[in-house]
Amino acid sequence: MFTQLFSSYFKYTKKERTGIITLLVLILFFVLLPFLYPFFIKPKQVDAADFKKEIATLNIKQDSVGKNFARKEFGDDDNTPNYYQPSEKNYYKGNTKGELFYFDPNTASAADWKRLGIRDKTIATIQNYLSKGGHFYKPEDIGKIWGLHEDEVQRMLPYIQITPKENNYPQQAYEPKNYDKPKYTPSVIDINTADTSALIALPGIGSKLAMRIINFRDKVGGFYKAEQVGETFGLADSTFQKIKNRLTLSNSAVKQFNINTATVDELKSHPYIKYNLANAIVQYRTQHGNFASVADIKQIMMVTEEMYSKAAPYLKVQ
């Protein structure tokens, strides 16, 4: 019985035997492949002289990179600049001095400018300016010359004497004056006409708050007092207290609803009039007839004094 089981288990067809043999051959081939590789591909011969040459070249490049890095980080011994060579205007150290004397910049010669301690390049710029019809009308005009630094201008100003073109008398030496700075007066804006740019100029008001103030103003139909701005959503009371003195109201005319004809939807669209109040006004009007005055809405039980004082400016009777 065991022999039959063994023979049936290891009994293969011709096709299966062929596949097994092929698989075994492939496995043997890939196992022996690393050992056969040197017989088919010969390694490249490296010349010892060429190898040494490549190593030397690599060492030279490495040393060059190291030196450049050190030069950029710390500066070398010959004062080579770390990153860039600044221009003459930026590289000026302010230590050039010269002799001071009274002079007219319109008639001073190159030797006079040199005597004052001005650099040759700047002297050439001045003479080129004068040769093309340029003229210094007041001492401060020399500050417009390119290449002439501020400390040089301030040093020479008291010694400049300009002879006017029309008159031949010397001008007095420049005397610096101290002018009092004008006092800053904060601007005041009209809250019913101000746009977003005017509101943003107020302290603590950004673009979002400015837009909210204008949207709230449009929704209520205009402001009748400056304190209403403080009711804007997101506007902190501390911020409102800072800007309150800079708010004014030149025209307090607002959009009003006729309570004898307005519908519930029209009334409740106003921020100060909720649905309950709008519905109560219409129901009272339906039961008792038209209102004789706006104050008659006080007869509605739910109308408080605070509610009336806020909504009354936006209501009318006709």
- Which pLDDT value is given to residue 48? 65
pLDDT value at 316 more than 90: yes
pLDDT value of residue 33:
80
Tokens 């001008």 -> residue: 171
| Residue 304: strand, helix, or coil | coil
Q: What would the mean pLDDT of 67-77 be, rounded to a whole number?
A: 44
Q: Which residue has the tokens 């519908």?
A: 263
* CATH number attached to the domain at 100-176: 1.10.150
pLDDT digits (tens, 9 = 90+) for 153-177: 888 888 888 887 654 444 555 555 5
CATH topology of domain 257-316: DNA polymerase; domain 1 (1.10.150)
pLDDT for residue 46: 55
Q: Quick one: average pLDDT of 49-63?
A: 66
Q: Quick check: 245 pLDDT over 70?
A: yes
Q: If you average pLDDT over residues 31-42, what whole number do you get?
A: 75
| pLDDT class of 59 with cuts at 50, 70, 90 | low
d(CA 212, CA 235): 9
Residue range 10-30: mean pLDDT, rounded: 84
**How many angstroms separate the CA atoms of 225 and 7, rounded?**
111
pLDDT per position as a tens digit, 251-286: 878 999 999 999 999 999 999 999 999 999 999 999
- Lowest-confidence pick of 101-110, 155-164, 178-187: 178-187
Q: Which amino acid is located at 110 in the chain?
A: A
Find out whether 100 and 90 touch, Cβ atoms under 8 Å: no
Domains 189-248 and 257-316 in one fold: yes
Q: What is the model's pLDDT at position 271?
A: 92
Average pLDDT over residues 210-215: 93
Q: What are phi and psi of 194, to 5 degrees?
A: -65, 140
pLDDT class of 10 with cuts at 50, 70, 90:
low
How much is the pLDDT for 311? 92
In this predicted structure, what is the pLDDT of residue 151?
84
The closest of 138, 131, 132 to 109, measured between CA atoms, is 131
Stretch among 11-15, 24-28, 124-128, 188-192 having the lowest mean pLDDT:
11-15
Taking the domains of the chain in order of start, what are their residue ranges?
Answer: 100-176, 189-248, 257-316
Q: What number of residues does the chain have?
A: 318
Please check whether the domain covering 189-248 is classified as CATH 3.40.350.10: no
Residue where the block lists tokens 């302010």 = 94
Which tokens is 270 given? 């106003």
Sequence-distant (6+) residues with CB within 8 A of 241 are none
